[in-house]
Amino acid sequence: MSQIPSRVNPRAPEFAANAAHYQGLLEVLRGRLREAATGIREAHIARHRSRGKLLARERIDRLIDPHAPFLELSPLAAWGLYGNEVPSAGVVTGIGPIHGVACMIIANDATVKGGSFFHETVRKHVRAQEIAEQNRLPCIYLVDCGGAYLPEQDRVFPDKDHFGNTFYRQCRMSQQGLPQLAAVFGGCTAGGAYIPALADEVVMVRGNARIHLGGPSIVKVAIDETVDGETLGGAEMHSRVSGVNDYLVDDEPAALLRLREIVAKLNWPRQNHADLRPVRPPAYDPAEIGGVISADPKIPYDVREIIARLVDGSDFQEFKPLYGDTLVCGTAHLHGHPVGILGNNGALFSESALKGAHFIELCNQRNTPLLFLHNITGYMVGTDAERGGIAKHSAKMVYAQANSRVPKFSVIVGGSYGAGNYGMAGRGFAPHFLFAWPTARCATMSADIASNVMQELRRASIKQDDARLAADLHRIDTEVRAQYGEQSDPYYATARLWDDGIIEPAQTRDVLGLCLALAAQLPPATGPAPVYRM
């Protein structure tokens, strides 16, 4: 056993100051999560309930197994956009067990613009389907959807990753044998109608559920026919006449129960391909992470202190501990599942990159999932670094990571800048899941460096008197810092679906345990492992 010895003193004044600072960040996060779930739209929620309808998250609570965890994805999507009138992008997505079968659940929130699809709604829906396909999960659609939000049509309808892509993915997953199940709770018009129409099995709630490609107003304009919504596409009609619906139920609880019965009879075998070990708690409390992380991002901390509070028994077999020490690599178990961890302890030098590439190859050889803990300014620059081949050595790590065939998970715990984001499996390299902490910052570079770079470019490009130059440089510094401060903020990123959600450090162990459990159900990858290109 190689237990990490913690050098952090929880009784030190610095620890208390760090913990107090982080607690403030957590209170902001929790407040925004509460507001996204039930705030902002109280009148819409009251009207929704008056129709005998449950909220999207209440439907999910009744659908999944009692007392089971639900891993909600991107709950703060669209935060700060559209005047904050589209909380959670109008759709709730996440993974939960139904009769022990892990399922992806996609639930429209009709209290947000009638469940219509905005640009971020489409991105969140597609991302949930992407995760389902990658992890071989059945998809459950809880449909209460008014189709595309028409003022956003140019950002929702025509492109390859827009609304039509959700239907394409639904068809492809069904063809692959991944069940696509839908329950309809409200009106589904236009594109919204295709979600249940493309499902393998459909449940509709009498009185509230409707499916029609064109609603009564469209029918009137298109063919001058006057018809009410129930006659046009109600649950009774689709159950008795059209055959579009498979199961007619009287209320929402009955619809959710019928979905549970369908999943229970899917004949869905659950397999495990990982070397599971008995679960042990870390030797150090995960709640201490907030005191480990420096309140000042310029003050470093040892990533081993985070690892010690995530992995089972704080047991970590470190790889090449004396070489390339700005990248910490090693193997551990987390909630009983094997995992290979790469964490940053500063900028990555050639030695660090070579060690990372070597370690990634070993994990691929042994079918061990990879976890990347980002706190990285980037790869080292300068004359010595370039003469030492940093461009090629960093490319080797990026190459090994990009071609990795094992599941990859990323958590941005601090900064994630420049090519360091690429080497550490940033969003562009398709990790199975990517989460962020409230301390996360993701950008091409930090605001300090960006400001200095832009000022140097200005000095080199223009000749002017000292007074004018000083004013110009001050303006550049102010504008660049404001831009990078806003755009590297974790809420700016999560609003745009650049991650799968902001999570609390103390919850990270459990979140990763759920992700690793999904990965363990996937058969081991075959074919050549990435080449360690020395």
- In terms of residues, how long is the chain? 534
Task: Determine contact, residues 449/525, Cβ cutoff 8 Å.
Answer: no
Give 356-359 contacts, CB < 8 A, sequence gap 24+: 356/324, 356/327, 356/329, 356/397, 356/400, 356/401, 356/423, 357/396, 357/397, 357/399, 357/400, 357/401, 357/532, 357/533, 358/319, 358/320, 358/532, 359/319, 359/320, 359/329
Which 3 state secondary structure label does DSSP give 72? Answer: strand
Mean pLDDT of 342-360: 96
Mean pLDDT of 310-315: 98
Mean pLDDT of 53-71: 97
CA distance 153 to 147: 10
Tens-place pLDDT, residues 244-253: 999 999 999 9
Strands (E), 190-346: 201-205, 210-212, 247-249, 317-319, 327-334, 337-344
CA distance 142 to 63: 10
Tens-place pLDDT, residues 135-189: 999 999 999 987 888 888 899 988 888 989 999 999 999 999 999 999 999 988 8
Which 3 state secondary structure label does DSSP give 189? Answer: strand
CA–CA distance from 267 to each of 105, 142, 194, 433 (Å)? 19, 22, 26, 27
Q: What is the pLDDT of residue 469?
A: 75
Q: What is the pLDDT of residue 464?
A: 59
Contacts of 105 (CB under 8 A, 6+ apart): 60, 63, 64, 70, 92, 93, 94, 95, 96, 139, 140, 142
CA distance 145 to 192: 5
Q: What is the pLDDT of residue 470?
A: 75
CA–CA distance from 23 to each of 76, 291, 302 (Å)? 19, 9, 20
> Is the backbone of residue 346 left (phi > 0), alpha (psi -120 to 50) or beta?
left
Tens-place pLDDT, residues 386-433: 999 999 999 999 999 999 999 999 999 999 999 999 999 999 999 999
Backbone angles phi, psi at 332, to 5 degrees: -160, 180
* Residue 534 predicted with pLDDT over 80: no
CA distance 68 to 517: 14
CA–CA distance from 481 to each of 81, 307, 379, 477 (Å)? 21, 32, 22, 6
298 or 463, higher pLDDT: 298
Tens-place pLDDT, residues 470-496: 777 778 888 878 888 888 899 999 999
Contacts of 203 (CB under 8 A, 6+ apart): 182, 183, 184, 245, 246, 247, 249, 255, 258, 259
Q: What is the pLDDT of residue 463?
A: 62
State the CB neighbour count (10 A cutoff) for residue 122: 27
Mean pLDDT of 314-319: 98
Strands (E), 441-484: 441-443
Q: What is the pTM of this model?
A: 0.94
Q: What is the pLDDT of residue 218?
A: 82
State the CB neighbour count (10 A cutoff) for residue 19: 18
Mean pLDDT of 67-72: 96
Share the mean pLDDT of the chain: 92
* Residue 42 predicted with pLDDT over 70: yes
The two tokens of residue 6 are 């913690």
